[in-house]
Structures are given as structure tokens and as C-alpha cells.
Amino acid sequence: MSKFYITTPTESIFKEYDVRYAVGEDLNENTYFTLGLAIGTELQKVYQLHTILIARDSRESSLRFNQALIQGLLLTGTRIIDVGCVPTPLLHFAMHDLQCLSGLMITASHNPASHNGLKITLGGKNYYGARLRSLFQRIRDEQLIQDQQESGVLIQYPTDQIIHKYVKCVKEDVAITQKFRVVVDCGNAVAGYVVPQLLSALGCEVIPLYCDVQPVFNNHHPDPAVEENLRDLQQAVLEHQADLGVAFDGDGDRLGVVDAQGTIIASDYLLLAFALDLLRRQPQAAVVFDAKCTQNLSKSILEHQGRAIMCKTGMAHVMANMAKNHAAIAGEFCGHFYFNDRWLRFDDGIYAAARTLEMLSKQKQNIHNYFSHFPKAVSTAELKIEIAEEDKEVFMQQLIEHAPDFLHGEFITLDGLRVHTEQAWGIIRPSNTAAYLTLRFEGQSPEALQEIQDAFAALILSVDPDLEIPYDFNESVGLHM
């Protein structure tokens, strides 16, 4: 008899792309047990499938939740292949290698160690939006198989074996023609099991930084999209006179890069480098990117006879647009990279690091000089405004309605609100993973950047005066753009 019991979770744990929440009353072993019942039932009823792979990250709660999830799946008669504690890209790789269309990853990605979550793929379909909500509905309606434990099977797949296969496969695909010295910062997260081994196999001299895998992230948060989290990497690159520094998030599907002078290479400019490299080989190729990326990306792609495809942020949206436009590569500003030319299309920060080194090894100039020739703009990092989850939708509706009173230019509502003026652009969109709004700005000059930031601040405060603007602005700004 199971030691867990069925519980109806709060709907707020179901985000747009995955399950994600703080561990505690609303996310615990019983939640995962119940999710196991719902997923196993969905797998059989909707897809007529019985096999699923599961993996987990290194968080303290992940092993407990893994055991509870397995118990729920077993009661539905599911055949489970547990690949152990590996990065998310290795789960996707294992699904491809074992020809299994379904996989579950226990992780909260770049969220704090006190959070956890679940990424779900069933029948080859990523579960997000309506599909994810259907699981919640199944639980609420008590449409759950619970009596097939006799046919449930658990297979422990050797974790070292899947890592070895992954390293071997990447090594066969990627050729690095220079001997690079690389600092690798895994932030004490699960990528530490794979990245040093892979880059060493590719011929790099690896200098590990926080590559010992821990259940907590004591040195810094594993989120390479936040500049503060790259400070130690920047310092280590300079101290060791390394050619490059690479950093990864909590489950290894995002990449951050620092050049030999300790300069952070923004992810949208790294994507631009990949795009130009691709277009030299494949003229007219499509490149997909999310709405937070620099305007110089689409401009440069078009100038080099490529097809620039902007889409909403999020793996599901990026992959759908890649398929629709037959795109070879894609990326997001937060550090997700997707390769469909020689790889498996899913986002993989570890493979992206290998491809970065391969691309840079072909250049005759040093890495810093190579990126210094790219078009320049003055831009911000991703900024955040805290807002209650239940207030996001109404706020964005009102913001878009009032935007013409504060901004003039091209309005793009593909993902939140992005506004292009002659000298700048800005975006505000609701986060799909946490209770905040994200903003980003870029200008052709510091003055143009400040001007669009001022206009957005005035617009935001006109809708909700209590929100805290995360940058300095001119409070006297009205309609002026």
C-alpha cells in the first residue's frame, strides 16, 4: 500500500510551461504522487502508451519527489525508465536514444533551491498551456487509474551510461580545431556531472568552477541570465588567462558565455554569431528568436539574406516556430539555444557550449575581437517588476490599451508589448514562470535608451501607480515619443 495519498493541488503550481512552485504545503510528495497518477492515466488514455523516462536535478527535494512520482506512475501500470540525476538535455537525449516519446524532468530550472517543479513531455508533445491545465482538470475530476500496479515496472537505467553516450555523440558531431582553456561554472548544479567531462573529451583544458554537484547553490544562483551570477566566472577567466568561460543554469538547458577579457557575451549576440555562421553555409536559412532579443539580430539576419522569425518566449513557442519555418537554429535572450541542423532541436545549453567553441575555433582573430565587430547598441539586462499572479492579465490589457498615450512607433503584441521607435525599442511582458513582469530596453544612444525607459515608466505607473519601477526615470515624462 502506498505511503502517499491523492491530493488536489492548487492551480497556481501549474505555470504556462511546466509545474513550478516553492516546496511546502502546495508542492510536496503527495503532489508528485498525484501527478504520477494523472500523467500515467493521460499517457494511456490519450496516447495509448505505457513507457516513460524520468530524470531529476540535484535539489534536496528532487530524490523524494522522484520516489513519489514513481509510486503514482506504477499504480497506473506504467513502465518507467529512471535515468537518474542528469541535466534536462540528457533526458531529451535519452528519450531519443531509447526511442521513447515521453519524459518527465523533476526540476525548477533557475528558480531557487527551495523550489521544485516538473517538465512534462507525453507522446512527443511538450505539455504547456491547455495541455498542462488538462492534467489539473483530470486530477480535479478524479479521472485517475489507480489499480494497475501489477503491470507497473521500474527500470533503473545506469546514469553513467547515458552520460557516456551523450559525450560520445557530441564528440562525433563537434570538431574544435584549437586548444582552448575554458573555465566551466556549473553553479553546483547538475550540469557539473557532464560539462567538464564533455569539454575535456573535445580537447579543451577545463578549469572547473563550482562543478561539484550539491543539493543547494551556496556560491551563487545557477542562472547565467543574471549578470551578478557571472561575476566569479569573469574573475576566474581573467585569473587563469582562459580563452572563454561558460556557465549553466540549474538543469543545464541554458548557457552563459564570458570572453577572455571577462566581458559577458549577451545570448542574443551569441545567437547572432551562430546565425551568421549558418547563413554562410545555408543562404536563406530561417533563424527563430524570442521577442526579448536585440533589434540588431533581426536586422543582421535580413542583411545576410536570412529569414528572421520572432516568436513568443518559451520552449514550446520556439520549437513550434522552428518546425513551421524549417529553422536550423533558434535562441532566446535568457540563454536557451536550439540546433536543428546537426542536433535534436531541443534546447541544450551543454551542446550549445560545444558548438560555441567549435564556431570560435574557426576564427582567425581572438574571441573578444570577433564579437567586438558586431553592431552595437546601448541596452539593459532583463529587468523585473513584482506583480501578483492574478493581476498580470488585466494589467497587460490595460497597459496595451493606454500605450498610444505614452509611446509612438511600431507596436508588437506578439508577447506582451514591444514598441519600436526610430532610435530605440522596449518590451514588457508577463513572466510565465514567476509573479513578475519582465522588461528590456535598447537604444542607439544612451539618450534614446533613457527616453524609451522614461516613456515605459510613465505608461506602467499610469496603469498601476503602486508598482516599483526597477530603474531610474524622469517622473515628469508624458506623451513625447
| Three-state SS at 135 | helix
Count CA atoms closer than 13 A to 264's CA, side-chain side.
19
pLDDT score recorded for residue 85: 99
Q: Which of 109, 267, 298, 300 is catalytic?
A: 109
Return d(Cα 332, Cα 338) in angstroms, integer.
9
200 is catalytic: no
Domains of the chain: 11-157 (3.40.120.10), 163-260 (3.40.120.10), 265-372 (3.40.120.10), 378-463 (3.30.310.50)
Q: What's residue 303's pLDDT?
A: 97
pLDDT at residue 481 in the model: 46
Torsion of CA 141, 432, 114, 104, to 10 degrees: 60
User: In sequence order, what are the beta bridge partners of 53?
Assistant: 81, 103
- Residue 1 to residue 474: CA distance in whole angstroms: 64
Buried residues in 87-97 as b, exposed as e (16+ CB within 10 A): bbbbbbbbbbb
Instruction: Look at residue 454 in the predicted model and tell me its pLDDT.
Output: 97
User: Residues of the chain whose pLDDT is less than 70?
Assistant: 1-2, 476-481
The answer, as to whether pTM is greater than 0.85, is yes
Q: Is the dihedral of CA 369, 373, 374, 379 positive or negative?
A: positive
What pLDDT was estimated at residue 365? 86
